Amino acid sequence: MGLWAALNGCRRGLSVMLIEERAIGAGASGGLLGALMPHMPDRWTDKKQLQFDALVSLETDIARLEAETGLSAGYRRTGRLIPLPKPHLVDLARGHERDALSVWNQKGRPFFWHCREPGYRADLINPEVTLAGCVEDTLAARVSPRGLTGLLHAALLRHPHFSLLTGDRVVTLDADKGNVRLESGRQIAFGQAVLAAGAATEALLDGLIGPLPKKIVVPVKGQAALLQASLPPETPVIYLDGLYVVPHEGGEVAIGSTSENVFAEPFSTDHQLERLIASARMLLPLLSDAPVIERWAGLRPKAIGRDPMVGLLPDHPRVAVLTGGFKVSFGLAHALAEALVGALVTGDGKTGLPAQFSPEHHLFEAGMKKSG
Ligand SMILES: Cc1cc2nc3c(=O)[nH]c(=O)nc-3n(C[C@H](O)[C@H](O)[C@H](O)COP(=O)(O)OP(=O)(O)OC[C@H]3O[C@@H](n4cnc5c(N)ncnc54)[C@H](O)[C@@H]3O)c2cc1C
């Protein structure tokens, strides 16, 4: 999130310093999965429209960055397969197929939610899970998380007004004076700060607005694995009951993810990941002997109410927040960052994003009384 905000600021001619306590991509964004999954095409809302627009525009945004840097984000609109193991799911899927014909058909570029017959893609998917059929959507895509963070990093380094400070942690922000204090004791002045510390955002917010009755951003642990298998790179993302199988370039296949609200070890993997790997091998027999080349765990930032938290902090107009992307950050971050930085540059603070995304809304949900 922070990388996209920094890039957007640089493109608009701002002087940007990015402060990162460890290294670029050291947080949840440096994981393995990178699935870009659209919401269901039914009951269309402004949030679904925002995500649709973002999933469409990401392709062009990444292509631009790749052309600028000569690097690859490992992006591909592969589409997605969703096996339908039970007959009652077929009617629902057919409804979505009809919905997609209108809401996914915008700007002259239609995307589809096709209902396919039982046993579809038996070359790939175990036919036992497609007994009632399979959905094939053409909007979903995937990106390499590390490819994308590397691309953004490289693009930022090309900007003359960008500076990067790594290896030091922001301890407090003084919104009135406009400075941050770092762990090293160093202080840095800012005109406007964007707080995009992922799952660690809560602690910094606490320092600014004090503890609230409920937490605004909570960490949700996720575990994932990377396998080496000879799947072609155009293989669709496959999703079944919370299990994602995401084929990447170079025969790498990511599998995820657990979703753990309670955990003792944030960054280690355990039997829950082994269970997911076993399920993936059952779902895709081609993975049965594929060696695991990496196991990884990270913390997703989940904002209260589940929606991202994006905008200026009420009563602290020099500090903006950009977090809470939870499980869908990769497909939205560029659009949220653009809306936020636009609001900072125009000075009116209006992001144009759905009202549920505003910090004011999240603070209210967390029990803060309205000021004034
Ligand atoms: C297992 C797993 C699988 C996932 N799969 C997907 C997926 O398929 N698709 C998808 O869209 N999303 C997925 N997500 C979610 C996605 O990874 C996150 O929502 C997203 O990366 C969050 O980005 P962020 O920039 O908000 O946070 P982060 O990427 O965590 O970035 C925050 C950065 O701030 C730094 N930082 C924190 N505190 C401080 C401080 N005080 N001072 C300085 N620096 C600080 C951290 O070091 C970190 O680099 C997954 C997450 C997990 C864990």
Compute, in angstroms, the gap from residue 300 CA to the centroid of ligand 1. 6
Query: pTM for this structure?
Result: 0.97
In a domain, 269, yes or no: no
Identify whether the C-beta of residue 103 lies closer than 8 Å to the C-beta of residue 44: yes
> Which residue owns the Cα nearest ligand 1 atom 30?
27
**Does residue 210 have a pLDDT over 90?**
no
Number of domains in the chain: 1
Compute, in angstroms, the gap from residue 18 CA to the centroid of ligand 1. 15
Compute, in angstroms, the gap from residue 192 CA to the centroid of ligand 1. 22
Q: Alpha carbon of 207 to those of 82, 146, 151, 170, 281: distances in Å?
A: 44, 31, 32, 11, 46
**Does residue 370 have a pLDDT over 70?**
no
Average pLDDT for 187-195 = 98
Residue 212: pLDDT band with limits 50, 70, 90: confident
Question: What distance in Å separates the CA atoms of residue 37 and residue 139, rounded to the nearest whole number?
Answer: 8
Using a pLDDT cut of 70, give the percent of the chain over it: 99
**Does residue 251 have a pLDDT over 60?**
yes
In a domain, 93, yes or no: yes
What order of strands is seen across the sheet that includes strand 292-303? 113-116, 133-137, 80-84, 237-240, 243-247, 252-256, 217-228, 292-303
Compute, in angstroms, the gap from residue 227 CA to the centroid of ligand 1. 22
Q: How far, rounded to the nearest angstrom, does the alpha carbon of residue 322 sit from its chain's CA centroid?
A: 12
How high does pLDDT run on average in the chain? 96
In a domain, 231, yes or no: no
> Which residue owns the Cα nearest ligand 1 atom 46?
27
Q: Is 79 in the pocket of ligand 1 (CB under 6 A)?
A: no
**Does residue 108 have a pLDDT over 90?**
no
DSSP string across 262-287: S-S-TT---HHHHHHHHHHHHH-GGG
In a domain, 225, yes or no: no
Task: Quote the domain boundaries for residue 122.
Answer: 80-138
Using a pLDDT cut of 90, give the percent of the chain over it: 95
Tens digit of pLDDT for each residue in 121-132?
Answer: 999 999 999 999
Q: State in Å, rounded, how far the first CA of the chain is from the last one.
A: 31
Average pLDDT for 95-117 = 96
Bridge partners (DSSP) of residue 92 are: none
| Dihedral over Cα of 362, 145, 147, 197: its sign | positive
Average pLDDT for 231-248 = 97
From 20, 164, 216, mutation site for ligand 1 pocket: most ligand atoms within 8 A of C-beta:
20
Q: Is 256 in the pocket of ligand 1 (CB under 6 A)?
A: yes
Atom of ligand 1 nearest to the CA of 296: 1
Q: Residue 30's closest CA among 152, 201, 112?
A: 152
Q: Determine the pLDDT at residue 211.
A: 85
Compute, in angstroms, the gap from residue 219 CA to the centroid of ligand 1. 10
Q: Alpha carbon of 261 to those of 219, 220, 302, 367: distances in Å?
A: 7, 5, 10, 21
Q: Alpha carbon of 257 to those of 63, 93, 113, 180, 300: distances in Å?
A: 28, 24, 24, 35, 11
Average pLDDT for 183-199 = 98
Give the chain's largest Cα–Cα span. 64
Average pLDDT for 184-188 = 98
Question: What distance in Å separates the CA atoms of residue 93 and residue 114, rounded to the nearest whole number?
Answer: 8
In a domain, 187, yes or no: no
Tens digit of pLDDT for each residue in 286-342?
Answer: 999 999 999 999 999 999 999 999 999 999 989 999 999 999 999 999 999 999 999
Q: Determine the pLDDT at residue 361.
A: 96
Q: Is 195 in the pocket of ligand 1 (CB under 6 A)?
A: no
In a domain, 114, yes or no: yes
**Does residue 371 have a pLDDT over 70?**
no
Compute, in angstroms, the gap from residue 27 CA to the centroid of ligand 1. 5
Question: What distance in Å separates the CA atoms of residue 50 and residue 356, rounded to the nearest whole number?
Answer: 13
Query: Which residues, at least 6 apart from 222, have a Cβ–Cβ distance to it below 8 Å?
Result: 28, 31, 256, 257, 258, 259, 260, 297, 298, 299, 300
In a domain, 23, yes or no: no
Q: Determine the pLDDT at residue 192.
A: 97
CA angle 165, 299, 208 (to 5 degrees): 60
In a domain, 118, yes or no: yes
Give SS3 for 162.
strand
**Does residue 48 have a pLDDT over 60?**
yes
Q: Is 1 in the pocket of ligand 1 (CB under 6 A)?
A: yes
Instruction: Report residue 348: phi and psi, to 5°.
Output: -90, -5
Q: Determine the pLDDT at residue 372.
A: 43
Compute, in angstroms, the gap from residue 74 CA to the centroid of ligand 1. 18
Tens digit of pLDDT for each residue in 128-177?
Answer: 999 999 999 999 999 999 999 999 999 999 999 999 999 999 999 999 99
Query: Which residues, at least 6 apart from 234, have a Cβ–Cβ distance to it below 8 Å?
Result: 76, 78
